[in-house]
Amino acid sequence: MDVKEVLRFAEDLVFAKTGEHLDDLQEAILRGAWKGQRYSKIAEESHCTEGHVRNVASELWQVLSDVLGEELNKSNFKTTLERCRFSIISSKFAKDCTQINNVNVCGDTLQPPEVPKERSPSTPTSDTSKPQTRLDLADAPHISSLFDRTSELATLEKWIVQQKCTLATISGLSGIGKTALSLHLIPKIQHNFEYVIWRSLRHFPPLETTLKTLLEFLLNKPEIELPTSIPDRLSLLMEFLRKNRSLIILDDVQSILSSGQLAGNYRPECENYSILFRQIGETTHNSCLILNSWEPPREITALKGEKSPVRSLQLKGIGTAAAEICRQKSLLNPETWENLINTYRGNPLWLKIVATTIQEIFRGRVAEFLKYDMLFLGEELAATLHPQINRLSELEKNIICRLSREANSVSIEQLLQDADLSPSELFNGLQSLGRRSLVEIEEQENETLFSVCPVVRQYVISNPVC
Ligand SMILES: Nc1ncnc2c1ncn2[C@@H]1O[C@H](COP(=O)(O)OP(=O)(O)OP(=O)(O)O)[C@@H](O)[C@H]1O
Ligand SMILES: [Mg+2]
């Protein structure tokens, strides 16, 4: 952790407890403590008395100790935070935090925490016999505030804890909040597991590498040599998952999936992940694998179902809760926020990007920004869309270009009339675009209509896609 991360982490903790952000002196104390400075030095640099610094520091350590559930002071602050960054969030912070100013910190609600339901009926449920959870979240990004997502968190908790699903996919466009949601899910459900591990597949590691890193953490036996073959590693992992309730989160799963093909197909060198996902999804065990991806891998669409242990959640925008983003970015003209949110489909990343632009160019005046009859993407937003559109198959590009030319939704019949496609090509393409969350589907008088959202349309119109 560097000092910036420390400040962000401490800020989240303090905000969760008090609803207030760190002030300048609190920040100076944390920076100073991180560098090992004396209070007298911090006081000198902050132009105030040492006594005042000591008082403010003592209150700050108390707040942090309360949230973290362990004694924290100037001398152990650095090591404690570094050691416990994620495990504390997951195991203790979740119990203490509350919903403040509509900020759903840790995904908890104002209701008292539920009595934990254990995944295995044979496992005792009393607090004292709760298993200790071993966590490896070193590969996970920083956790920050989560607005809304109450129903998504409840759904995932129900699937994973009560219904014991073995494989759950969270899919959705980049920036919609898959990573954020799973990070906030962990503290809610981790007490049902003995092991929790987070890995990103961003750099599309070969399956044997992923199995190795999972086994190294789960087995925790550096002295034993892991088998070298994939089938042996896989059976070792499955045996472990049967015997030990484990939660595995694989983030950025789209990286092992292929571009230029319909959604859900693997890169040739990553085809064998399909065996891992199938085994975890189809066999009986007490563990769960969560996959975060722009699109679900093809097994999931085949295996998922209400009665099946395989589930899939397609994440949409956060709707009116995104007003919190506008508030955080100090945007003006609140009466126009709904329009802004709807245009950017409640996608937290898109809204954060555009809110920054509105702040920088229009000093926060949303009404002035919306006055222009064009949709602004800017380089940053376009850069998030580029890899998602670029990876489409030619068939999907053809359809998305056709849809982007329309201001309104169009029916399959209309699409067939002027696109040079057979019905089955069109069905395949639309289904695939739907799985990638790139088309919007609505029902009107017994007819299904398709469209693309304004941001995607704008990107397609202003970039060479087809
Ligand atoms: N519900 C939310 N409330 C507030 N901020 C959110 C919410 N969901 C996501 N964010 C913020 O939006 C940004 C994008 O979220 P996140 O990284 O989770 O998206 P993602 O779906 O995982 O994207 P990608 O597919 O690119 O990995 C982050 O800054 C995150 O903190
Ligand atoms: Mg992500």
**Mean pLDDT in each 10-residue stretch from start to end of the chain (466 residues)?**
80 74 88 89 87 88 79 82 56 36 32 33 39 87 91 97 96 98 96 96 97 96 91 97 97 98 97 97 95 96 90 96 95 97 97 96 96 88 96 96 92 87 95 97 91 96 84
Ligand 2 midpoint to CA 445 (Å) = 37
Q: Which atom of ligand 1 is nearest to the CA of 292?
A: 22
Q: Tokens for 24, please give them.
A: 């300048």
Ligand 2 midpoint to CA 199 (Å) = 11
Cβ atoms < 10 Å from Cβ of 62: 14
The answer to whether the Cα torsion of 276, 277, 282, 287 is positive or negative is: positive
What is the Cα 119 distance to its own chain's centre? 23
Q: Tokens for 73, please give them.
A: 């002071």
Cβ atoms of 112 and 147 within 8 Å: the answer is no
Q: Which ligand is nearest to the CA of 170?
A: 1
Rounded Cα distance between 150 and 181, Å, is 10
What is the greatest pairwise CA distance in the chain? 79
Ligand 1 midpoint to CA 55 (Å) = 37
Q: Which atom of ligand 1 is nearest to the CA of 384?
A: 26
Q: Which residue's CA is the nearest one to ligand 1's atom 9?
A: 177
Ligand 1 midpoint to CA 145 (Å) = 10
DSSP string spanning 224-266? SPPPSSHHHHHHHHHHHHHHS-EEEEEE-GGGGBPSSSSTTPB
Query: Ligand 1, residues 108, 170, 176: which to mutate, most atoms within 8 A of Cβ?
Result: 176
What is 3-79's CATH number?
1.10.10
Rounded Cα distance between 406 and 451, Å, is 8
Q: Which residue's CA is the nearest one to ligand 1's atom 14?
A: 175
What pLDDT was estimated at residue 428? Answer: 96
Scanning 89-243, the segments in alpha helix (DSSP H) are 94-96, 150-157, 178-189, 207-219, 230-243
What pLDDT was estimated at residue 92? Answer: 37
Q: List the beta bridge partners of residue 208.
A: none
Q: Which atom of ligand 1 is nearest to the CA of 146?
A: 3
Say which CATH topology domain 385-462 has: Arc Repressor Mutant, subunit A (1.10.10)
| Beta carbon of 349 within 6 Å of any ligand 1 atom | yes
Global pTM value: 0.76
What pLDDT was estimated at residue 409? Answer: 94
What pLDDT was estimated at residue 407? Answer: 86
Listed in order, the ranges of the chain carrying CATH 1.10.10.10 are 385-462
What pLDDT was estimated at residue 122? Answer: 33
Listed in order, the ranges of the chain carrying CATH 3.40.50.300 are 105-117+129-314
What pLDDT was estimated at residue 127? Answer: 43
Q: What are phi and psi of 415, to 5 degrees?
A: -65, -40
Nearest to 106 by CA among 182, 169, 158, 171: 182
What pLDDT was estimated at residue 374? Answer: 79
What pLDDT was estimated at residue 24? Answer: 86
Instruction: Considering the domain delimited by 105-117+129-314, tell me its CATH architecture.
Output: 3-Layer(aba) Sandwich (3.40)
